[in-house]
Chains A and B, each alone.
Chain A
């Protein structure tokens, strides 16, 4: 049924275009040239007739030619990064426009959901980051471009492996659910947010997910807009509450064909911060100190160094573009091999992107298309975030006795009796390769029904197919697998489709009042499936010297085979939305939006949710009484209010679901809840934007208050029941209040030397209230031998979400045993209260230096690695221990226990990147804009945290309840030095 309806939608649109008849008034011709501050022609600048959508763009030399209605009096010329200008054409037909650079970004065009707006017209809190301001260095996924660039945007990697998913929070933690990342929208296409990397079905433990944005080539991105308040988010309705990140990719410009190329190489320069375990000398003195005998094997190895990857990260990118007045295209290609910190881990990607825009029917019809196709191959390491005492490469390296060689004289791997694994043997025995093919195709058609009325239709499909082969060879003794061999072949598919119809009406109602109105309908659908074949017990690869065919190439050779498959319930969304923007003399701006979202996930009694918002902006600097001020060129006050939703709960949660399971059984696995609906966030925001007259000081200050109710919660079911939990909308509230301050200064602006500094500071306070006071839901799994089943965090009333809930550490007794309280108590906040970022650019003639860094403060991290991997007990068994444990009064027989002793301050500052570049300019006859650079990423971190990286979010959720700021043998972060060059032809 649905399919036919979709097809009908597809076919109806061209029909409309054919029945359209159009009559234009008489025209006149205008031509001209647009130049930059140095007098050079600006290619691709936009030239629009004021008050209409008619326009063109400049060619490669900066020239343009346009036919305008005879009544037109003004042209608006704009180009990204420059102040847009209005040029009178009432009496001339040939103009020269000299553009002036805009440091404030106020003229930038910002994506606001189903449309764009000038930044100066925004009534909501939207942060826009342009390509020139992106983070530099080795960038794998697009979210890395934004780290420490936007106030209130907190991006934390879930692991250091290239391409790992990130935890992204915009203005704090709204939700008690794990899936609370923002909605990503690529060129108007909302993504599903999941990845098609399959989950192996067997006992390999769970490794962090793949980043769902890996299929995007970072060098294809023009702008990333971060929508932070209800006025900007509410148009996305039930998916807007966690914020929206809108990515706009580059398009071609008219003019001569242009080719841009870039090459870079990156070198792993060791750990950003090494975990301090004992070296050989310290280890020997520890053996003496604790009276341990028989554990000095006379060698001297550094296991952490031995597993470091020394392969070179390579990036090759190529883009060519071109076009004319009626059409333009851009094609790009990326070949990239990102090497992980540790051996056998990498992410290879090949991404092609082809997009264009063509105009027909006297430019009344515009066709846009974009096709991204990406292939990635990930080599994943055994760094499961839920492994016990064995089975993680990092723990094997941390625990390795530094006096013991990895192999004996004949090259046989040594498997010690200490309970630790041989990390080198694990590297040789384990392989886990995931390949994902992703396509994102979209096509849209816009038709100007009237000069000020435009209809647009968009269809997009995002299809991602993944396969994953996991092998653990039988020769490996100990740890996961245990001498029998294990393998798993798994596959996954994720397909989402979008149909959007919008109608945009744009008119000058009176001489002083402008109206921009939008109405739309959207249908979105997503399907996900996963399957896996798990096998164990193999006859081959039982000898480390005789390794041949991988098990996954011959899985039928196993003794035991198991298969599993599932298809998630289809998610369908059907939405109606509208927006009205009023602008009175550029002084008073008002935006109202409304969205009605219907979702197949919602219970029968709540199929539709309604999400309104209003926002207003008062441009004080345009008031007459401000005309005489000499200090400020822009001063405006914003305020917004609105309701947004979050529907990130598993599809099918509102329905009775019966499952058929193995072993001949079947039954109810989810019970109906007809009232289940979206989570609702009501928020308001007050903001102030200002720019000094000379444009050298600018800033934004926002205060916001978000209150999330109807919390989607996987709560304790009333027993007897088929499951332990059930999804409900809890009457509790999560509040997030905060302040964001962003400031920019141009400290020096000289012909040969410029110096810019930008930074932000954001403070957020998170609290859960009106929660059942008798209920403390524990989460935050603490893993390892001696702490099985222990949980370290809690969801509890009048506490921040995921508050630490641990036994208070009370010191050591006279025997060197740690002592601690009998019962747990609330022990601190894992959510950063403050985040900040700073970046600066110094340019001297052709040399420029960019530094950027940032950090977080006011939160704690639980160091589970110290609790159970590098604890003092290890030394008695011949394992290595941490320097902290060695320096403590603790004795090796002290019981392993989780308590507040392992809570550490998470405060940190990280220098993310320093890039020094030299702009050679044109070289020879053909090479233009040659730029060479050398760049260092993750150069240092200042922190008291003793783990690998304080910026850590290892997923230690328990029973579906998320965790925050838990460190457990994470994949470490490396320091990378890269160098490369860019040029165009």
Chain B
């Protein structure tokens, strides 16, 4: 028995020997915070900052992100249900007729994606960034907060290193605006002084500050915005310094600001950079033309040519003064591919003209697409049922297309000329068009607006700025300028209409309509609606997670 005891003792000792793994986790592909800092050294901070820049891609590129919330809710865009396509559980229609609720998937994903930018930018600040890196990170956070307060009326802010299981502080109303403005003022001089549109610089910071100053009165009272004189004067000062710097000028061809070579545009102030054919984390701007093009546009061996969805409304199109009716206008004779649009006096922002590198490959003419479409050889295109592919401005009143013409209803808008740099017959995506976030003409129009809104209004100065812009676009000058005509959304002599014509489909329209007090009026395919819809609901998922968020009234 003594022997047995010895055996058992040895066995127990043995099991003690083999049983002391500490169970520390080996991550293998990822890094602990300490490793991340050590491995990358000083570059680590730059890498973190770059992540915040990359975060701009998702919320600003997708057709179902900020674009949908700003444009489909306004008078510039809608997505009709086309028989078997684009019902998508009604998500697009409720955007345009203002009947969305707090479970809407797009409202949730924009909230999450903007907050990812908010988080990743904040996270940079916990890693001992340089002064400039900290300034860029705080700018990117301010940008996400600007959109959050504009869309949802509130935003959460964490400190670097916060435990994610704890609910963060939430800012709303005046406190929210004050937070963003104080952040921008604090970092302005630490941002780089160059004018490269690929990253935050002092001009970019000024533009965001201008937007905050212009809109904070609307955030405080969306049903009846007010504008403090000091804010307006500061907008003029900031804008004038940009306009006077000589760093930015209007492009001869409006669509060059959006085409595959727009990296060298002289109007773009802040962009999200894309490179042709480069896949990972390069979201590309493909969706901007695919969402609107018909399935058969471009070439049959390129199925991604179009999704046949997004359209604009004819009232908005007509605000360019092109003349009606547009249906049946022959833009060029069959076979005459390079022929210019007959009316060269038409506003250059309408497009419908030959665009080198695009029309000769695909037949597509950027801008508004209306009437018969032609391929690169000038041959008239057909829809999938074999009917002429002729876009018809008339959309069904309930936005549900039926009948044999359901594929061709709605004027299409191709603001970004497709990237066909790979040549005919192939498309390799993603595209190389940089996504425009801030553009010079917005600065000019904001200055004009502030001149009209300041206590000592300067309508002549505002008119001069607008006519300068119109001249650059080959549009006839206007004689007088007011802010808005509440009886006519598209009165050509208003600043709101000019902002529409210049900045259409650039994700600012909802904000503009609210600031000009026109968001709740009736426009095409939209009935009257309640003041509730001046701000989006806090998504139910976010509300359930963070008790500090407060649901907006009416939801």
Chain A residues with CB under 8 Å of chain B are 2, 5, 8-9, 12, 16, 19-21, 292, 294, 390, 415, 417-419, 449-450, 453, 455, 477-479, 482-484, 499, 501, 503, 521, 523, 527, 529, 534, 536-537, 559-560, 562, 564-570, 572, 574, 576, 598-602, 607, 651-652, 654-673, 715-724, 726, 728, 772, 774-777, 785-791, 807, 815, 817, 822-823, 871-874, 876-878, 891-898
Chain B residues with CB under 8 Å of chain A are 3-4, 7, 10-11, 14-15, 17-21, 23-33, 35-36, 40, 44, 46-48, 50-54, 64, 81, 83-91, 101, 103, 105, 111-112, 115-116, 118-120, 122-123, 156-158, 163-168, 277-282, 295-296, 300-304, 382, 384-386, 400-404, 406, 422, 425-428, 540-546
A292 to B386, CA, bound (A): 11
A residues less than 8 Å from B277 (CB atoms): 537, 559-560
A570 and B26 within 8 A (CB): yes
B23 and A786 within 8 A (CB): no
A residues less than 8 Å from B23 (CB atoms): 572, 574, 598-600, 602, 607
A residues less than 8 Å from B15 (CB atoms): 501, 521
Q: Which of B3, B29, B281 contacts A567 (CB 8 A)?
A: B29
Q: Which single residue of chain B is at the shortest CB-CB distance from A21? A: B3
A residues less than 8 Å from B123 (CB atoms): 667-668, 722
B residues less than 8 Å from A724 (CB atoms): 112, 116
Q: Which single residue of chain A is at the shortest CB-CB distance from B15? A: A521
A667 and B51 within 8 A (CB): yes
A300 to B106, CA, bound (A): 44
B281 and A716 within 8 A (CB): no
A789 to B64, CA, bound (A): 10
What are 10 residue pairs bridging A and B, where the CB atoms are less than 8 Å apart in the complex? Answer: A12-B14, A559-B422, A560-B277, A569-B25, A574-B21, A658-B31, A721-B115, A786-B81, A790-B89, A896-B84
A807 to B295, CA, bound (A): 29
8 interchain residue pairs of minimum CB distance = A873-B84, A893-B402, A719-B115, A483-B301, A567-B28, A665-B51, A658-B36, A720-B119
Q: Which single residue of chain A is at the shortest CB-CB distance from B54? A: A665
Q: Which single residue of chain B is at the shortest CB-CB distance from A667? A: B51
A417 and B296 within 8 A (CB): yes
* Nearest chain A CB to B538 CB, angstrom units: 10
B residues less than 8 Å from A665 (CB atoms): 47-48, 50-51, 53-54, 281
A478 and B303 within 8 A (CB): yes
| Also in contact, A658 and B50, with CB within 8 A (given A484-B426, A719-B115) | no
A722 and B120 within 8 A (CB): yes
B residues less than 8 Å from A562 (CB atoms): 279-280
A731 to B137, CA, bound (A): 37
B residues less than 8 Å from A415 (CB atoms): 300
B residues less than 8 Å from A721 (CB atoms): 115-116, 119, 164
Q: Which single residue of chain B is at the shortest CB-CB distance from A13? A: B14
* Nearest chain B CB to A486 CB, angstrom units: 10
A652 and B87 within 8 A (CB): no
| Also in contact, A523 and B18, with CB within 8 A (given A671-B164, A774-B544) | yes
A669 and B30 within 8 A (CB): yes
Q: Which of B18, B30, B35, B115 contacts A720 (CB 8 A)?
A: B115
B residues less than 8 Å from A728 (CB atoms): 165
| Also in contact, A455 and B11, with CB within 8 A (given A560-B277, A895-B87) | yes
B427 and A722 within 8 A (CB): no
A477, A576, A722, A776: residue with the most chain B Cβ atoms closer than 10 Å = A722
B88 and A788 within 8 A (CB): yes
B50 and A663 within 8 A (CB): yes
| Also in contact, A661 and B28, with CB within 8 A (given A482-B427, A785-B85, A896-B85) | no
* Nearest chain B CB to A777 CB, angstrom units: 8
Instruction: Known pairs A570-B26, A666-B36, A720-B116; list 20 more (Cβ under 8 Å).
Output: A417-B384, A453-B4, A483-B302, A569-B30, A602-B23, A607-B23, A655-B32, A658-B31, A659-B30, A660-B31, A662-B281, A665-B281, A666-B50, A717-B545, A719-B546, A786-B84, A787-B88, A788-B88, A877-B384, A894-B83
Q: Which of B18, B35, B51, B281 contacts A9 (CB 8 A)?
A: B18
A455 to B164, CA, bound (A): 48
| Also in contact, A876 and B83, with CB within 8 A (given A660-B47, A665-B53) | yes
A residues less than 8 Å from B301 (CB atoms): 477-478, 482-483
* Nearest chain A CB to B224 CB, angstrom units: 30
Q: Which single residue of chain B is at the shortest CB-CB distance from A484? A: B426
A19 and B281 within 8 A (CB): no
Q: Which of B10, B25, B385 contacts A877 (CB 8 A)?
A: B385
A864 to B3, CA, bound (A): 71
Q: Which of B46, B84, B90, B101 contacts A871 (CB 8 A)?
A: B84
A482 to B305, CA, bound (A): 10
B28 and A294 within 8 A (CB): no
A671 to B29, CA, bound (A): 15
* Nearest chain B CB to A791 CB, angstrom units: 8
A666 to B301, CA, bound (A): 37
A16 and B14 within 8 A (CB): yes
A720 and B386 within 8 A (CB): no
B384 and A418 within 8 A (CB): yes
B30 and A658 within 8 A (CB): yes
A569 and B18 within 8 A (CB): no
A350 to B100, CA, bound (A): 57
Q: Which single residue of chain A is at the shortest CB-CB distance from B33? A: A656
| Also in contact, A673 and B165, with CB within 8 A (given A667-B51, A775-B541) | yes
* Nearest chain B CB to A134 CB, angstrom units: 38
A822 to B93, CA, bound (A): 12
A712 to B75, CA, bound (A): 45
A786 and B86 within 8 A (CB): yes
A893 and B403 within 8 A (CB): yes
| Also in contact, A659 and B545, with CB within 8 A (given A417-B300, A667-B48) | no
B10, B27, B426, B546: residue with the most chain A Cβ atoms closer than 10 Å = B27
A564 to B281, CA, bound (A): 12
Q: Which of B33, B52, B122 contacts A658 (CB 8 A)?
A: B33
| Also in contact, A654 and B25, with CB within 8 A (given A482-B301, A790-B88, A893-B402) | yes
B residues less than 8 Å from A722 (CB atoms): 116, 119-120, 123
Q: Which single residue of chain A is at the shortest CB-CB distance from B157? A: A720
